[in-house]
Amino acid sequence: MNELIKIREVATRYNISARTLRFYEDMGLITSTRSDDYAYRLYDENALKRLEQVLILRKLNVSIKDIQRIFNSSGSEVVLEVLGKKVDDIDEEISLLHELKEIVLDFISQFEHADFNKDSDVKLLYEKAKEIKTQLADPVYTGNPSTVNRLLAVTEKLDKKVPDVMIVRIPEFRAVTSGRMTFEELFGGGFEPWQESHNHLFKPVIFNCPDFLCGRDQKAEWIWAIKDEVSETDTYPYEIIEFPGGLYAVAVSVDGDGESYSKVMKKIEKWLDSTNFIIDGERDYMGNMIFVDDEIKEGLGYHQMNLYVPIKLREKN
């Protein structure tokens, strides 16, 4: 008999979140079953084998859309094509990084030969520190234009690999909370089925989405924005809170699973180093799935997931 395994056990066995499992299922990569006398998702041996394939491909940085293509094809042509393209992408990025290193070393060489006692050299160094495009348009720039043009071309290509980041202010709102618990408890317990049966209580806050998953220290709290007329009687046994809102740095995860979440979060943190904002350690990181219509989802091949880092202005010395 094919044994059925609970979602919490699967998440623990493969060291992934239950939300990632649900995401893979929403994308059609794995399937679960539900029995009449059990409310939660169960996975059989075939589902686990498919999950292992997904996890291997994700470790190879294969996108969800390409994994869908691989699973929807018979034979090896598509997987060979996808992995071959991945090798080409890696080679291109390595080449760009080597070229960027040469450009940086060239600038270092120019700086080393500058005379800080000469006003003209100091001015040149100042000009080089300005926006590169401004330097190209400035007739007083006396450096090597080909080096700067190479820098523009290389960094433009590399920048395409970094997500756009924006600053948003989330307003205060009332919400029902799951309470803070482990991810396995959150998605293997009673809150998820309760939420699915109470969708009529919720309202969107930002980007047409009512829910936020807040996490810290390997624990999470799921909050859903509720309509003004909703009372604690409606949300029992779950508590209503006043979410304070605030400033967040936001980027879109390219696929929406746990793997891309971690990568994009690190890029947001790195991007903040170039601003006057710092991470607000008093508040939680958050994520939410953007609700999109079927046409957008079909065009992208995946859900979009917003990642939020709480921020505040850096204190002046």
Encode pLDDT of 220-241 as tens digits: 899 999 999 999 999 999 999 9
Sign of the torsion formed by the C-alpha atoms of 140, 141, 145 and 150: negative
pTM (predicted TM-score)? 0.58
In CATH terms, 166-313 corresponds, of 3.30.470.30, 3.40.190.10, 3.20.80.10, 3.40.50.300, to 3.20.80.10
Q: According to the model, what pLDDT value does residue 140 have?
A: 41
Taking each helix axis as running N to C, give the angle between helix 145-159 and helix 77-112, from 0 to 180 degrees, rounded to the nearest 10: 140
Domain ranges of the chain: 5-71, 77-159, 166-313
- 171 vs 271: which has the higher pLDDT: 171
Asked if the domains at 5-71 and 166-313 fall in one CATH topology, the answer is no
Q: Tell me the percentage of the chain whose pLDDT exceeds 70.
A: 74
Look at residue 259 and tell me whether its pLDDT is greater than 70.
no
315, β-bridge pairs: none
For residues 11-38, give the mean pLDDT.
80
According to CATH, the topology of domain 5-71 is Multidrug-efflux Transporter Regulator; Chain: A; Domain 2 (1.10.1660)
